[in-house]
Amino acid sequence: MELNLTGKTAAITGGSEGIGKAIAMGLAKEGVDVAICARRAGPLEETAKEIREATGRKVVVITADLTSADDAKAFIEKAIAELGHIDIMVNNAGSAPGGVIETLSEEDWAQALQLKFMGYVRCLRHVLPHMVSQGGGRVVNLIGNDGVKPSYWEIAPGAANAAGQNLLKSLTGQYGKHNISFAAVNPGPVRTERWSGLVDAMSRDMNISHEEADKLAPDSIPLGRIAEPTEVADLVVFLASPNQHYVNGTMIEVDGGQEKTLMDRSRDN
């Protein structure tokens, strides 16, 4: 299928590794020039070099911490200046600490909302007026299945994700008249660079071995494994296509049919 993405431009947050890197590479392979941001310059430059060599597309590198309103504004402004315009906005940067309500601190809750929710808000505040002025655009937000498949062990990520999903639905209603459409991808567990650390935390908090903790998520998924970053990225690239512009306000889980309650029951045993 021809996605008609050649010559388009995209801004991608959290683009140095994991799902964000896979999305940037996937879009570039379809002929999209990309601007990527993350907090660390080194990994960003390495990713940009890899994408340029693989695709020949323009890759703009911008160091930004999206917990800062000024950094978020600067990322969008620099992306527009370097690319000329932004056709596609992919909000991906962010994570939230897991744990139960009794052990989550005020700082944990603030962290959950600062990046995973407010980081998206900050970028959208600046990219949406630009898209209005150019006559349209496409937004794809990476949110997470915790917002629609709650787990008491992931209550903070679930709250941040639910807020993001509500935000997306609300903006869909506001910006349709400006030819801007929105879609969300809600991944479950994905084998990124962060996965081993998450398993370590589960092992510690549940007093089980790393091997036992690493089986919890796959055992809750009918397909018996967690996702690879490219399996999420491929859907994002498809949804970013102008062919899918009419897919508006839609949220799609990419989690192999995960049943979160199975993980909770395992933790309770």
The pLDDT score that the predictor gives to residue 221 is 94
Per-residue pLDDT tens listing for the chain (269 residues): 899 999 999 999 999 999 999 999 999 999 999 999 999 999 999 999 999 999 999 999 999 999 999 999 999 999 999 999 999 999 998 888 878 898 889 999 999 999 899 999 999 999 999 999 999 999 999 999 999 999 888 899 999 999 999 999 999 999 999 999 999 999 999 988 777 667 776 777 677 787 877 888 889 999 999 999 999 999 999 999 999 999 999 999 999 999 988 776 666 66
Q: Under 8 Å CB-to-CB from 226, ≥6 apart: which residues?
A: 188, 189, 190, 191, 195, 217, 218, 256
Q: What's domain 9-190+228-257's architecture? A: 3-Layer(aba) Sandwich (3.40)
The pLDDT score that the predictor gives to residue 127 is 98
Q: Under 8 Å CB-to-CB from 171, ≥6 apart: which residues?
A: 124, 128, 139, 182
pTM (whole model) above 0.85 = yes
Calculate the CA 50 to chain-centre distance. Answer: 20
Per DSSP, which regions of 19-149 are E strands?
A: 33-38, 59-63, 88-91, 137-142
The pLDDT score that the predictor gives to residue 209 is 81
The pLDDT score that the predictor gives to residue 265 is 62
Is the Cβ–Cβ distance between 59 and 70 less than 8 Å?
Answer: no
Cα 205 to Cα 190: distance, rounded to the nearest angstrom: 20
The pLDDT score that the predictor gives to residue 256 is 96
The pLDDT score that the predictor gives to residue 96 is 84
